[in-house]
Amino acid sequence: MSPAKHPQRPGGRSARVRDAVYTAVGQLMGEGRPDRLTIPMVAQRAEVNPTSVYRRWGDIDTLLEEVSVAALTREGDEPPDTGSISGDLTQWAQIIVDDITRPQRTRYLRAMVSAREAVESCPCWEQRRGQAKDMLARGIERGEVAPTEHQVLDHVIAPLYHHVVFGLPTDRAYAERLVGDVLAMARPADKA
């Protein structure tokens, strides 16, 4: 039986270590060569013992995933509730665009993608999935015809992140166009 993991306290030394490590990752990612980022490099920059970093995160991919969630989403970030699926998805996509097109977010996103050896899934993607699911469920409860959660992720969220990573034009109008496209995919259940 493995030992029980002690819950992390939100403040104190644990929070200071987390903040120092997050800052170090961001600095190192911005300086280039993110594909060679290691825990000892992060620990040295954060001025913490590498053992502390290994104990809390285990490996560099786990650390990068956690930092990416913190960098690319906001804790407690609630999806909009405008009263319609169209309004919710449009406002949500525009909030995401405004955030990920900020220069520091764009640099971080590109660096994070290039630093990962294997891209399996990203916790920030799972957070976006949960937000989409919530908005669509509200719309269905109101009697609206809704696209699927997968359609929203594949045809709104994925293109936004793809465009930012590859330096393609990405703005609020593009986000709104993607939402219009995905809403056109929604079909009444009896015609599916």
Condensed to tens digits (0 to 9), the pLDDT of residues 36-89 reads 789 999 999 999 999 999 999 998 888 887 777 776 666 557 889 999 999 999
Flag whether pLDDT at 191 surpasses 70: no
Torsions phi, psi of 59, nearest 5?
-150, 170
The token pair that represents 42 in the structure block: 């992060």
Domains of the chain: 12-58 (1.10.10.60), 76-191 (1.10.357.10)
pLDDT digits (tens, 9 = 90+) for 4-14: 333 444 456 78
Rounded to two decimals, the pTM is 0.70
DSSP alpha helix (H) spans, the chain: 12-30, 39-46, 50-57, 60-72, 85-100, 103-115, 123-141, 149-152, 158-165, 172-185
Flag whether pLDDT at 121 surpasses 50: yes
Flag whether pLDDT at 169 surpasses 50: yes
Distance CA 158, CA 97 (A): 12
Distance CA 192, CA 181 (A): 17
